[in-house]
Amino acid sequence: MSKEQPSLYIHIGLPKTASTYLQHKVFPALRGIHYLGTPAGAPFAGRRDQEHGRRTLTGCFQRSATIWDALGSEIVSALVGSEPRTPSTHSILVSDEGVGREATRPELFRAHLEGLKRCAIRSGFPRLRILCFIRRQDHWLASHYAQVSDRNADASQSDFELTVREILDPARGRFAFGMLLDFATIYHQLADVLATDDILMLPYENLTGEPACFLSRIGSFLPNNADLSERLHDSRGIQRGVNVRTRGKDTWLLRPPKSGSALRAKLKSVLRNTVRQSVTDGCSRSNGSSEIVLTTELSATILGEFRVANMSLAEQLKIDLSRYGYY
């Protein structure tokens, strides 16, 4: 067993990249690393914190990055707990996809990473290492829209297409919510703070298409887990753990709508970043629509927006993202 210095591993998502499967099946099975799940509670208890389950890291990244200078030691203590660690489990892994969601503001995201790294070092973790998984932008948008469609009384094919175009519009969401899908920029922020060998960024499609390869790459990144693929490779388990609403190759099922204006407003604030009631009034689900289709035209529009960034990222990661349709 290796005698590496203690490391703090953070899985930051991104959302819609099989976090549930990783948290329930993969991370608890790791050897030589103490998996702590998603720490919650202290030191945050505001209204927004309550809405997000008082997740410790999420609460940090939603605030000013100066919080690391003011409360850094307290935050790391809340993350890693007070349990004694033996030499075989001296490294720690925390999973919180709420961190990845905050990548919509790249410079603030980087400042938080810098603060977290400083505090980790002071707390006895010389290395901060990040796991981050991505997903083809067109599929991500369709999957996310379907996942939260129960909060949107107007969810429909027309509304989906309008939402996508707003997210891609430079005057609206492209440089706000749309930055969450600019994976090259996210990688650059990580690489500005960490050594490249302290970053693991893999495509979700590698998991669904080549699970053994995906697990092997995670096992190689985490010490003492080179045999992870052999121990966990079970395609049936993977499919049970991946949270999807796909009905077919390019079709996603919508969730039955919930009532309540508060839930509807929440979707609009998170997904659209603008209120366009006059437009969506004509896109209700009264026609009985229960699914959305990612058309060839819409897919090409989405991928076209991120083509250059995806090609740059593929070069940085030395992964052929074109085989998964990123460009």
pLDDT average, residue stretch 195-221? 96
Percent of the chain's residues with pLDDT above 70: 82
Query: Would you say residue 262 has pLDDT above 70?
Result: no
| Domains of the chain and CATH, by start | 7-324 (3.40.50.300)
Query: Would you say residue 269 has pLDDT above 60?
Result: no
* H helical segments located in the chain: 19-21, 47-51, 56-61, 67-80, 97-101, 106-122, 137-147, 157-168, 183-193, 204-209, 211-221, 228-232, 235-241, 261-267, 277-280, 296-317
Task: Return the structure tokens found at 49.
Answer: 């914190």
Closest CA to 111 of 72, 56, 167: 72
Q: Return the half-sphere exposure (C-beta side, CA atoms, 13 A cut-off) of residue 105.
A: 12
Between 10 and 82, the more confident residue is 10
pTM (two decimals): 0.88
Q: Identify the pLDDT of residue 137.
A: 98
pLDDT average, residue stretch 287-309? 92
Q: Identify the pLDDT of residue 153.
A: 86
Determine contact, residues 26/232, Cβ cutoff 8 Å. yes
Query: Would you say residue 278 has pLDDT above 50?
Result: no
CB atoms within 10 A of CB 87: 9
Q: What b-and-e string marks burial along 138-156, b requiring 16 or more CB atoms within 10 Å of the CB?
A: bbbbbbbbbbbbebbbbbb
Q: What is the pLDDT of residues 59-111, one digit of tens each?
A: 999 999 999 999 999 999 999 876 656 555 589 999 999 999 999 999 999 99
| Alpha carbon 285 to its chain's center | 29
CB atoms within 10 A of CB 224: 17
Coil, strand or helix at 7 = strand
Cα angle 10, 148, 97 (rounded to 5 degrees) comes to 5
Determine contact, residues 125/7, Cβ cutoff 8 Å. yes
